[in-house]
Amino acid sequence: MQKLVVVALLLAAVGCNQTKEPSNTELMESKIDSLIQQMTLEEKIGMLHASSSFTSGGVERLGIPELVMSDGPHGVRFEHGRGWERDLTVDDSATYLPTGICLASTWNTDLGYRYGAVLGTEAKQRGKDVILGPGVNIIRSPLNGRNFEYLSEDPYLTSRMAVDYIKGVQDQGIAACVKHYVANNQETNRSGVNVTVSEQALREIYLPAFKVSVMEANVHTVMGSYNKLRGQYTTHNEYLVNTILKGEWGFTGLLMSDWASVHNTREALLNGTDIEMGTELTQPTIDYNKFYLADSALAMIKSGEVPVSVVDDKVRRILRTMFRINKFDERTPGAINTTEHQQVALQVAEEGIVLLKNDNLLPIAVDKTKTIAVIGDNAIRRHAHGGGSSQVNAKYEITPVEGIQKLVGDKATITFAPGYEVTRANKANKKMIAAAVETAKNADVVILVGGWIHNYDPSVWGGFAFDSEAVDKQNTTMPFGQDELIKAVATVNKNTVVVLFGGGPVDMYQWINQVPSIIQAWYPGMEGGNALANILFGKTNPSGKLPMTFAKKLEDNPAHSLGEFPGQNWEVNYGESIFVGYRYFDSYKVAPAFAFGHGLSYTTFVYSDLFAEDDEDTIYLTFSLSNEGKTAGAEVVQVYVADKESSVKRPEKELKTFTKVFLEAGESSTIELQVSKESLRFFNEETNQWEFEPGQFEILLGSSSRDIRLSETMNL
Ligand code: BGC
């Protein structure tokens, strides 16, 4: 086969080649043909399932190596060797990036690319082929235990961040794996809950990020999810995989299962599952031949029940992925734990941390402050090992107290009290609160760092885990008696800033008016403590914006107001349809605590002079943005469009584009943005098509979904 290629190339070189020179893709496909022709059926089947915890089978005889995977999505995971025990004999330290929701809060797609590039090169250095990320499931409820890994409630923001993340990974010659396809929006009963969702919501809300990952970012691999959709497991769902992913979107890469999401040999064979992972996890007796895509698949092919071409197609997709990531060639070296990677972690945290509220307390002038009280267990807690499969052995992780200490140096005295206790009892510890109150009383400023933590040992935490795989939160009430703590501290010290960790909101109504400043820090990664300190003391001007609505209380969220989370008897109905997140809050006039897209700055941005025009395909917007404050900073300009005349009920407005603009103090800039008319279509369930309905549209430019600064009505 290689000889043939050489001959073809020689013929081309001497001008004897009458036909067109084969393209790289053609050459790759012909190499794949040749490999497939040489393989026995057993060898082919051996490639379709796991050969260890994070590898799928190769064919040694033909020089086809195993495919090596690793989580993802915010750092290369612990080393597990071939089983599930952590391999403590190797150095598996890595860059621990801020988690997905913090990345999305930057609204900075360049950072998305750099984040992906860090993952790609670190994965390469660790000998991996595929990094299992990004996670792009839509945040449907604030209770979902994995929201911290995901990006947003909005499909457009999710899509834009995912595309650049994937390109960043894949430009390093490593495959990204967009997950979990699809409608895996809760962890409760994730292993088989059946999702019922309208076609419109599926198309407009849940599928778009997967679609652009395939069609725009050319993602090499996709991971199926655990749940069912409309009665069939998503990993071998005929409609989702054959019709949409591999049909409509023309996906040519491979679909792998989530770990133990395959349940049926015939369906997995016929409905597009290419690699089955994690079905049986018991060690050390695991028998990979018992996987659905192993011996039973072999028998089905041998009996003629399923044609061998089905297997060939799967093998072809696996080999294609291998060729695309240079698996058969010498790879360029990767890099791990570099200062540059740590800088990416810092910048994502600095741009992702969101200043929710600020009544003149921040930034803290360190020279004018004698004593700073730091209160709260999260000020000293490290989070990289938590949350489930996304755990990272961080090279280091700067806690808030360390970051504050480093920045303040000896300019002020820092005191500390934990204030609450992380226990399953989940109630206030009166003694600790009393000690924290004493500490707060004697300080000029209080930085109270609390919120959620990860906890992932189901045997210990049972149904009581937060921000963790396999378990949803039970409510949005602050755990460990922190409401009481905050109220007590804020009563004795008016200069209290509350910093919240976590993959989503807590209810704040008990104390929101009692504290001047609130910061949402998410899980900000290994440089989180430094980033937070830089924001608190004004070294960094915050520019993060919420990628999800923070409701006043849980019941205000659409899935909860309908009582449709997490469903009953393994069934969940997405009754809110397309009215997810701000689409619901805005359309149904429910005031949130903090709106989608909200986030404050230490400077003031003024929007002016909007000019809008359109041609057949595109709306062109020009406007001016100026930084009228005294500090350099960045604004995320958000463009929403309201469809004023529609034959079906549309959300009040939807995000259609955004840009992040950095301006020096006093600087102005003329900004041009475009919105494609195609993006204004909706999915019409009657015709089963995307449709554009001409009529009146309102273009809304703002600093958040509820802080619209300029608008223009257009007839399109
Ligand atoms: C998770 C995936 C992860 C896989 C491998 C599963 O439990 O749902 O996101 O990639 O495990 O660790």
Q: Which residue has the higher pLDDT, 82 or 621?
A: 621
Per-residue pLDDT tens over the stretch 149-202: 999 999 999 999 999 999 999 999 999 999 999 999 999 999 999 999 999 999
What residue's CA is closest to ligand 1, atom 7?
Answer: 259
Give the per-residue pLDDT at 604: 98
Ligand 1 mean position to 18 CA, how many Å? 50
Q: Which atom of ligand 1 is nearest to the CA of 135?
A: 9
Residue to probe by mutation, ligand 1, list 55, 71, 77, most atoms within 8 Å of CB: 71
Known catalytic residues? 258
Give the per-residue pLDDT at 559: 98
- Are the CB atoms for 652 and 587 separated by under 8 Å? yes
If pLDDT is split at 50, 70 and 90, which confidence band does 12 have? Answer: very low
CA distance 693 to 712: 18
- In single-letter form, the type of residue at position 690 comes to W
Give the per-residue pLDDT at 16: 47
- Are the CB atoms for 148 and 548 separated by under 8 Å? no
Give the per-residue pLDDT at 440: 98
Give the per-residue pLDDT at 229: 98
pLDDT surpassing 50 at residue 583: yes
Nearest to 326 by CA among 138, 580, 67, 137: 67
If pLDDT is split at 50, 70 and 90, which confidence band does 456 have? Answer: low
C-beta neighbour count of 412 within 10 angstroms: 18
Ligand 1 mean position to 10 CA, how many Å? 47
Ligand 1 mean position to 175 CA, how many Å? 16
- Are the CB atoms for 388 and 361 separated by under 8 Å? no
Beta bridge partners of 684: 689
Average pLDDT over residues 457-467: 66
Percent of the chain with pLDDT strictly greater than 70: 96
If pLDDT is split at 50, 70 and 90, which confidence band does 461 have? Answer: low
Classified by CATH at the fold level, domain 39-64+177-191+219-324 comes out as TIM Barrel (3.20.20)
Question: Angle at Cα 144 formed by Cα 140 and Cα 146, nearest 5°?
Answer: 110
pTM of the model: 0.96
Ligand 1 mean position to 426 CA, how many Å? 28
Percent of the chain with pLDDT strictly greater than 90: 91
Q: Which atom of ligand 1 is nearest to the CA of 177?
A: 10
Give the per-residue pLDDT at 462: 56
Ligand 1 mean position to 547 CA, how many Å? 23
Give the per-residue pLDDT at 10: 43
Q: Which atom of ligand 1 is nearest to the CA of 133?
A: 10
Give the per-residue pLDDT at 5: 43
Alpha-carbon torsion (646, 649, 650, 653), positive or negative: positive
How much is the mean pLDDT over the chain? Answer: 95
Classified by CATH at the fold level, domain 339-573 comes out as Rossmann fold (3.40.50)
Ligand 1 mean position to 60 CA, how many Å? 27
CA distance 38 to 506: 58
If pLDDT is split at 50, 70 and 90, which confidence band does 458 have? Answer: low
CA distance 25 to 626: 48
Ligand 1: lining residues by beta carbon, under 6 Å: 71-72, 132, 179, 258-259, 389, 469
Give the 3-state secondary structure of 18-42: CCCCCCHHHHHHHHHHHHHHHCCHH
Per-residue pLDDT tens over the stretch 684-714: 999 999 999 999 999 999 999 999 999 999 9
**Structure letter (DSSP) for residue 377:** G
If pLDDT is split at 50, 70 and 90, which confidence band does 281 have? Answer: confident
Return the domain boundaries, the chain: 1-35, 39-64+177-191+219-324, 339-573, 605-715
Give the per-residue pLDDT at 20: 82
CA distance 104 to 137: 13
Average pLDDT over residues 260-275: 98
Q: Which atom of ligand 1 is nearest to the CA of 77?
A: 12
What's the CATH number of domain 605-715, 3.90.1150.10, 3.10.129.10, 2.60.40.10, 3.40.1030.10?
2.60.40.10
CA distance 544 to 499: 14
Angle of helix 400-408 relative to helix 528-536, nearest 10 degrees?
50
pLDDT surpassing 50 at residue 7: no
Say if residue 134 is preceded by a cis peptide, omega within 30 of 0.
Answer: yes
What residue's CA is closest to ligand 1, atom 12?
Answer: 389
Per-residue pLDDT tens over the stretch 304-337: 999 999 999 999 999 999 999 999 999 999 999 9
Per-residue pLDDT tens over the stretch 517-552: 999 999 999 999 999 999 999 999 999 999 999 999
